[in-house]
A and B are shown apart, each in its own frame.
Chain A
Amino acid sequence: MKITKQKGTSKSTGLCRLQIEGDMTIYQAAEMMEKFVPCWNDYREFELNLSGVGEMDSAGVQLLLMFDRKSEGYDKKVRLLEIREAVSEVLNLYRLGQRFDIQTSPRQ
């Protein structure tokens, strides 16, 4: 599992671009969570590149949902980039395709 901040991440714009490598399942969830929370606190717009995510389960979905907070005074946005088939299947099962801004290529 590897999470790396990408070019374009900037505290001044509030944008955080993360490249996620590895599965997002219950087995990685706690560890990923630890890395996500500081990002979540520092930025308000997230671009998650999931091209390296092979598998996702409900724990992974919850991690994505965590980023997306609009209620309780938060205004956080999340965009998902380059999602692979296994992930999109899960998101479709949960009918979350509409909820996340899903893009095929990173925004320039």
Chain B
Amino acid sequence: MNLDAGLQAFSEESRELLQSMEDTLLQLEAKPDDDDLINGLFRAVHTVKGSAGLFGFDRVVEFAHLAESVMGRVRDHQVAVANDLPSLLLESRDHLGLLIEQALDGKPDPDEDSIRTGKALSARLQRHLSDRPAGEAQSRSIPAPTAPVLPARREAGVENRCWHISLRFGTEVLRNGMDPLSFIRYLNTAGEIVNLTTLEAMPDPAEMDAESCYLGFEIDLNSAADKEAIASVFEFVQDDCLIHILPPNSPIASYGELIEALPEENARIGEILRAGGALTESEFGTILAGWEKRLGGAGGEAESMPEPSGDAGIRPGVVEPSIVNAGADKYKKVKEHKEEENQVVRVSAAKLEDLVNLVGELVISGANTNLLARRSGGRRLADATETLAGLVENIRDTALSLRMVEIGTTFNRFRRVVREVSRELGKEIDLVISGGDTGLDKTVADKIGDPLMHLVRNALDHGIETPAERESAGKPLTETLHLNAYHDSGSIVIEICDDGRGLVREKILAKALEKQLIKENQSLTDSEIQRLIFEPGFSTAEQATNLSGRGVGMDVVLRNIAALRGRIDVESTPGEGAKISIRLPLTLAIIDGFLVQVGKSSYVIPLDLVDECVEFSEVASESYQDSQHINLRGEILPYIRLGEVFKCHTPGARDSQSQKVRENIVVTRYAGQKAGLVVDELLGEHQTVIKPLGTIFKNVKGLSGATILGSGEVAMIVDVPGLVSRVSESGCPQRTNPVNLEEVRH
């Protein structure tokens, strides 16, 4: 057993659980009565505790246990979700995360800070465990047929002084050369097995596989060993077995959890635990009553429940049928849920990366094969390679979609930020998320998190007014921050909209003057002013709050997004709000390209951006020649000659031929803007594996990468947005500094 792998799994699992705890807690604030949320929360912290216990992370277990106890009381409606409880639980969650991190780092001793935080939090959590409103809690939590079972201790622990171990072996255990017997034998050496019930889940003999394991056990072990020692017994099988270990005198609630977590019907397990002495009758009654209550039964119904019979046999009739059925339903649901989970396979990102790289190579060599086949003139060969090319394309799409993740996960991270900011600044902010299911490449999603966080903080900090300001502006007191995402022509667009004050022209200008980014009396258009906020060293925050203004400016955001081949746009209406749109490519690895030829060089234009191709007729353009526009069906279309921009026509090359080369214009559309690229020849679609250009080309605008053609030649990938902006910035392409490709290549 590779312990590192185990720890890795624990680290991932706990990260997910902590995230889900955070999400749940934030939702819980809005819906404090939602039992599903409360149960989810309880389960999450319970699982963290259990897993941490397996690895012997005692400090994590200790703290998680406290938090779990409080959540258990919330679940049993003994503590209401009110006041500071959500905040307290959120802070506890953070602390738990910190403890787990420290444990994973292998730090032997916690630093003083974390001890202090831990103590403070523990004290606050304890308060929720002790201040039980006696009358109310008793009447609600104690089932009718049983005597009061809550002992004098703060927490209702069971009388059972043994460790309770529930084991369900995986089917492969025997085949893997392990025998459950040896575990039981070993347990015998670690303590005294007070009780053991063997459970079998065997199918009909006709369907039974004699080499599969169908056994499970409920064990009560009287032992002085600690949890770590007991858990370590099962280290070798913990991957494919269901293992639950409850310490002596565990809270009743944790037995309730256990019963529900086990695959058998709740009622059956309950009887087994009762018969085996793990639970007393009254303790079992408490659990039953708890279910009854949660299943929506009125409080009075509990009274009609028959008293659990005194004999120790397993008698199915003992428990009211409705409970048995409800238990079965629950079990079914749990099982379905489990099956759903099992349909997901975890794969390391590095492996996916390798796959995508290989697919890239496959695409290139596929293109090569295609080319050779076409040249050879064999029709059947050409047909076969055509089919192959179709398959390669499918593989490429599937491989890329494997890395697609939903942006929603990234968005959800901001709920916490928004919540905290609204507290801190005394602003009421509503976060609306839409388009969370929009997919994008994981590598892009990973890199967009920080820039987005910065933009969200900025919007909250600078964009949103105080309630007083809003009231005087006649706006609703609660602000709305809207995060939205959608797909648009091969890109994902992420929008951050707020209904705050928008970008204040005067403020930006004043700041820009102060920072000497502009000169006095310089006249600027609105969009130029808006772009000023992305200048290095620009910050309008009058006082540096701890939200934004941490020295990291919007220029960093802009740079990060540009590094992802994305762009950022700002729309703002003073007094009504601002919208920041980020446009990113869906993937960084392979694109559908459109191959064109200019002179002797090939270029690839991303196919998603290509609107149409038309023949470039001098006639249509003649009257617009000076301004580099043509009339495209009554629309003015600015165009660029790729050959001129990249200087790949040797001067006079065209004139030396008696006839003019027939030229084509590729009409591209990006972010609602159309532009034409004039090229010599259209070569058709081409699957393009993007090879990044080295750092020496980083200042070359207009090219976003290179690719290798089937023939082995290099083709440059045209960065349409970059090219268009470069041309529009300088007004006219002739005045730009052309990139001499011949120089670039050699």
Say which size band chain B's interface belongs to.
20 to 34
- A-B contacts at CB below 8 angstroms, number: 62
Report how many residues on chain A are interfacial, defined by Cβ distance under 8 Å. Answer: 22
In the complex, A66 has a CB within 8 A of chain B: yes
Which of B174, B184, B200, B211 contacts A65, CB < 8 Å?
B200
Are B198 and A96 in contact, CB atoms less than 8 angstroms apart?
A: yes
Give Cα distance in the complex from A32 to B213, angstroms: 16
Are A26 and B211 in contact, CB atoms less than 8 angstroms apart?
A: yes
Give Cα distance in the complex from A107 to B115, angstroms: 70
Give Cα distance in the complex from A95 to B209, angstroms: 23
Known A37-B205, A62-B215; judge A29-B196 contact (CB<8 A).
Answer: no
Known A26-B211, A29-B210, A32-B210; judge A62-B184 contact (CB<8 A).
Answer: no
Are A57 and B179 in contact, CB atoms less than 8 angstroms apart?
A: yes
In the complex, A30 has a CB within 8 A of chain B: yes
Known A26-B174, A57-B181; judge A95-B211 contact (CB<8 A).
Answer: no
Are B208 and A33 in contact, CB atoms less than 8 angstroms apart?
A: yes
Residue among A63, A65, A90, A95 having the largest count of chain B Cβ atoms under 10 Å: A95
Give Cα distance in the complex from A46 to B219, angstroms: 30
Residue in chain A with minimal CB distance to B197: A95
Are A66 and B202 in contact, CB atoms less than 8 angstroms apart?
A: yes
Residue in chain A with minimal CB distance to B200: A65
Are A62 and B210 in contact, CB atoms less than 8 angstroms apart?
A: yes
Mark contacts of A31-57 with chain B using CB atoms, 8 A cut-off: 1 yes-contact digit, 0 otherwise: 011001100110000000000000001
Mark contacts of A43-81 with chain B using CB atoms, 8 A cut-off: 1 yes-contact digit, 0 otherwise: 000000000000001110111011000000000000000
Nearest-Cβ distance from residue A3 to partner chain B, whole angstroms: 14
Residue in chain B with minimal CB distance to A90: B181
Q: With a CB–CB cut-off of 8 A, which chain A residues contact B210?
A: 29-30, 32-33, 59, 62-63
Are B208 and A66 in contact, CB atoms less than 8 angstroms apart?
A: yes
Give Cα distance in the complex from A32 to B208, angstroms: 12
Majority-rule SS of A interface residues: helix
Which B179-220 residues have a C-beta within 8 angstroms of A?
Answer: 179-181, 184-185, 188, 195-198, 200, 202, 205-206, 208-211, 213-215
Which B420-456 residues have a C-beta within 8 angstroms of A?
Answer: none
Give Cα distance in the complex from A86 to B307, angstroms: 42
Give Cα distance in the complex from A63 to B180, angstroms: 15
Q: With a CB–CB cut-off of 8 A, which chain A residues contact B206?
A: 37, 41
Give Cα distance in the complex from A26 to B178, angstroms: 10
Known A40-B205, A93-B181; judge A62-B196 contact (CB<8 A).
Answer: no
Mark contacts of A70-108 with chain B using CB atoms, 8 A cut-off: 1 yes-contact digit, 0 otherwise: 000000000000000000001001111000000000000
Q: With a CB–CB cut-off of 8 A, which chain B residues contact A95?
A: 195-198
Give Cα distance in the complex from A31 to B174, angstroms: 15
Binding site for B on A (CB under 8 A): 26, 29-30, 32-33, 36-37, 40-41, 57-59, 61-63, 65-66, 90, 93-96
Starting from the known contacts A57-B179, A62-B213, 16 additional A-B residue pairs (CB-CB under 8 Å) come to A26-B179, A30-B209, A33-B205, A36-B205, A58-B180, A58-B213, A59-B211, A62-B215, A65-B200, A65-B202, A90-B181, A93-B181, A93-B196, A94-B184, A94-B198, A95-B198
